[in-house]
Structure 1
Amino acid sequence: MEFQDLSDFDFELPEDQIAKFPAVQRDKSRLLVLGRTQDFLKEETEFSKILDYLREGDVLVANATRVSKRRVFLVTKTERRHEAMFLSEIEPGVWKTLIRNSKKLKLGDILSDEASGKFQLSVERKEEEFTILRSETPLDENSFETIGRTPIPPYFKRESNSEDDVRYQTVYSKNLGSVAAPTAGLHFTPELLEELKNRKIEFLKLELKVGYGTFQSLSEDHFANKKLHEEEFDLPSETTELLNSAKKNGKRIISVGTTTLRALESAYDPNDKTFRAGEGKTRLFLQPEDSILSCEGLITNFHLPQSSLLLLVSAFAEKEKILKAYKFAIEQKFRFFSYGDSMLILDPEKV
């Protein structure tokens, strides 16, 4: 596919429509409902009313990953402060990080965590925009829970607080390991999940560890190679069996979020129309004119302009439909991005 004109996916958003704090209640955010390929629906409601558009036998699939406190403040021996995002452990004790003002760091520099001073790290090397740190003391998820902070998105333009520790996690999150939340799931409440169960609507889970690439700007290399950042996912066998049964019996599969959709599409074999269970890695880059066959519905927030997530949503539904929906959402003062409002996109042929 030829390089996309990203200017088509650009838009101006008033600063006051960037949701920098969560809604008062998770399920009271606004919901825009539209058809995947035609205007059979274009309604505005609140998220708690999503049940009006679902039916018995539907299968929702969500990313149950939990956000790690990977945002850590480090200090040098001269007490210079650096904000670091610990992305992944590439070998025991060696971490790939993003560090603000990393140009001021030299190979061999020693840093310690600001919170406790117990963890000493040295600058081992630099790779493009990343800094590779070696930790003398093993760092694990428990360590980050002690010394780190919730890594809220940079466009919040504020420090994280105790409310973010709760609200920047889904109510069904399980295993730590992501550096960003699967935000479409932030709207669900325990009561809403219970009502889904009562109405015999399945709510299944997989895990995809959301990485830094979620916020990474797109480049010509991404389009030339049709590859994005790599993310690990795990599709449990129990979830796979229920998904394959749904496919076989013509039930609607609805992805809760773009990270879930990326995992589903990577695990789906369109030839035999089945999902493969187990662990995997994906670098899938979905964009307009690609076919998405793994599911018939998508719940998603409103994404950053010119982002891979916006292109993915435009691959799931018609590009012009999504761009019109965004224009409508801006005009109607919807809240955007991670703590913002949401869309439900359904396949009209399956209604």
Structure 2
Amino acid sequence: MQLSDFNFNLPDELIARYPLASRSASRLLHLDAQGQYHDHQFTDLLNLLEAGDLLVLNDTKVMKARLKGKRATGGAVEVLVERLQDQFIAHCHIKASNSPKAGAELFIGPDAVKVTVQGRHENLFIVEFSQPILDVLDAYGQLPIPPYFNREAEAIDTERYQTVFNDPTKLASVAAPTASLHFDEALLQQLADKGIQKTFVTLHVGAGTFLPVRTDDIANHIMHSEWCEVSEAAVALIRETKARGNKVISVGTTATRAVESAAQAHAGKLAAWSGDTQIFIYPGYQFKVVDRLITNFHLPESTLLMLVSALSSRENVMQAYQHAVAERYRFFSYGDAMLIDQAQT
């Protein structure tokens, strides 16, 4: 399957660069198991899901991971913390006029917090902070909002680029699990009142989620690595849901990758698991856990678009995207949503 198979024309004005006033006010395009699509509001999930169904949500929290600083020579640098190794050492992306060498010292914020480059691991720099990293991020960091917003992070992003159910002890992502941004407390309560259950998994989203696919044959693409965890409690709820004939609905591509990785790690049978995943889901993949997917509209030629196409089909998804463009749906992280059913075979 070729990269160009996942291209489509997206007018710039359909990119949602700011959130709506209300989280749950988004539209929802339902792509059913027969490949037919239906226009809804996001709150129509109350009618589209059944009592006994299970929502699987990613409870990670986004770090204020973008830091601006200077080199010892005075040149500007930008440090994006990708992954915490411990309290003081992190793997980072660094933007500078020249790539810093091992031993280079960078200085963050007005207090000139020292950051020393230790070396590299693949495409990331390994750096040591002179103060606890999370303290530095809290004091000087900016939320790393997606590059396609074409703007700096603003006050509104502090609340709206986080889920309402994020776990503060899981502060480790550099991008939000954006399908979950549509849920507010009121909607979650209404779903619970109907008998729709929820469980949480964790996948710490890396900046690699925004990296383009650079191979014409998508099967040759190598996914970035992200850490995830699926608990015994989540596994038990998923098994119980399937045993009684209800649906497992993953909220977002990250929750999907987490539970499918846990199954993949155990020869296709879901079990508790934690570790790094590089799972790449594209058409032809056989889902082990997920029955339905709530997701946003994704970038052309992205691995996320390939994942959602695997659950339905490339043809079904691309036709639904054409409809979404024609009907002026809002795209990407702050945009509208889709509910995708696994295609009947």
The TM-score range, normalised by the shorter chain, is over 0.9
Instruction: Note the C-alpha offset of 1:325.
Output: 0.9
1:310 and 2:302 equivalent?
no
Is contact 1:233–1:280 with CA below 8 Å preserved after alignment? yes
Deviating runs (4+, > 4 A) in structure 1?
126-129, 221-227, 269-274
Among 112, 129, 138, the residue aligned to 1:135: 129
Q: Shift in Å at residue 270 of structure 1?
A: 11
Residue 330 of structure 2 corresponds to residue 335 of structure 1 = yes
Matched-pair contact (CA < 8 Å) for 1:211–1:231: yes
How high is the sequence identity, in percent, across the aligned residues? 37
TM-score by length of 2: 0.92
Q: CA deviation at 1:327?
A: 1.0
Spell out, residue by residue over 1:33-82, the C-alpha distance to the aligned partner (whole angstroms, 9 max, x if none).
1113432xx21121112111011111111101110111111212333221
* TM-superposed deviation, 1:274: 4.6
Which secondary structure state, in structure 2, belongs to the residue aligned with residue 193 of structure 1?
helix
Given that 2:35 and 2:312 are in contact with CA atoms closer than 8 Å, whether structure 1 keeps it comes out as no
| 1:124 corresponds to which of 118, 127, 147 | 118
- Contact persistence 1:244–1:274 (CA under 8 A): no
Once structures 1 and 2 are overlaid, which stretch shifts more, 44-53 or 254-263?
44-53
* Match of residue 263 from structure 1: 258
Deviates more, 1:108-117 or 1:278-287: 108-117
Contact 2:262 2:274 in 1 (8 A): no
Which secondary structure state, in structure 1, belongs to the residue aligned with residue 261 of structure 2? helix
**Does structure 1 retain, via aligned residues, the 8 Å contact 2:53–2:247?**
yes
Counterpart residue identity of residue 185, structure 1:
S
Q: 1:344 to 1:67 in 2, by over 3 A?
A: same
Give the number of equivalent residue pairs: 342
* Distance in 2, Cα, partners of 1:86 & 1:249: 43
Structure 2 CA distance, aligned partners of 1:347 and 1:107?
49
Structure 1 residues 272 and 104: CA distance shift in structure 2, 3 A? closer
**Cross-structure match for 1:11:** 8
Deviations 1:84-122 (A, max 9, x none): 2111234664322112235253443321112532x2012
Indicate the residue corresponding to 1:166 in structure 2: 159
Partner of 1:108: 103
- Taking a change above 3 Å as real, the CA distance of residues 200 and 273 of structure 1, as seen in their structure-2 partners, is farther
Amino acid at match of 1:105: P
Q: 2:296 aligns with which of 291, 296, 301?
A: 301
The residue number in structure 2 matching 1:84 is 79
Q: Is the 8 A contact 1:64 1:205 kept in 2?
A: yes
Alignment of 1:154 with 2:144, yes or no, is no
Distance 1:229 1:128, change over 3 A: closer
Gaps of 5+ in 2: none
Instruction: Structure 1 unaligned segments of length 5 or more: list them.
Output: none
**Match of residue 55, structure 1, among 41, 50, 62:** 50
Q: Aligned Cα RMSD in Å? A: 2.3
